[in-house]
Amino acid sequence: MSRESVDAIAALRVNAAYYAALADGDLAAMDAIWARDEPVLCIHPGGAPLQGRVAVMASFRSVFEGGGPPIEYSQDAVSLVRGIAFVNCLEHLADQSLAVSNVLVWEGGQWRMLQHVASLMSTGSAVPAPERGPLH
């Protein structure tokens, strides 16, 4: 398997770990996923851009107060550009779908989240959640 394929698979695994941490409401796991040495950015649906680790982690702390949201994802795809992994996928909540860009950077021997941007899809664009069991 090529180095690029290995990197791409590893990036998709971290993308999966992001959704597991989110669904679990696991703040420690979420903290471990985000980059430490680079300027992170997070845009939650409906929200303004959150810049920097302090603001981003505070937003997840707030989200997790009610427990992790019942979220699933599908159609994950990854491109490697100049050593950065660009993942896009769909997120599925109870009756909403979101279009997502997750950007991962190689840091400390693993892929870590540099950017997460989620955009609510209009009803006409929404797609049903995948037919499968819970994430884990």
Residues at the contact surface with its own copies, assessed by CB under 8 A: 38-39, 41, 43, 45-49, 51, 77, 79, 81-84, 86, 88-90, 99-101, 103, 105, 114-115, 117-122, 125, 127
Residue 48 CB, nearest approach to its own copies (Å): 5
Cα-based distances in Å from 49 to 85, 94, 109, 115: 20, 24, 27, 10
Residue 104 CB, nearest approach to its own copies (Å): 11
Closer residue to its own copies (CB): 126 or 136: 126
Closer residue to its own copies (CB): 28 or 81: 81
Closer residue to its own copies (CB): 66 or 124: 124
Closer residue to its own copies (CB): 2 or 133: 2
- Contacts of residue 89, defined as CB under 8 A and 6 or more positions apart, other chains included, come to 15, 73, 74, 75, 76, 77, 100, 102
Residue 74 CB, nearest approach to its own copies (Å): 11
Alpha carbon distance 47, 59 (integer Å): 10
Tell me whether residue 21 is exposed, middle or buried, using C-beta atoms within 10 angstroms of its C-beta: 0 to 12, 13 to 18, 19 or more.
Answer: buried
Residue 113 CB, nearest approach to its own copies (Å): 12
Residue 38 CB, nearest approach to its own copies (Å): 5
Closer residue to its own copies (CB): 29 or 44: 44
Alpha carbon distance 83, 66 (integer Å): 36
User: What tokens appear for 52 in the block?
Assistant: 């920097």
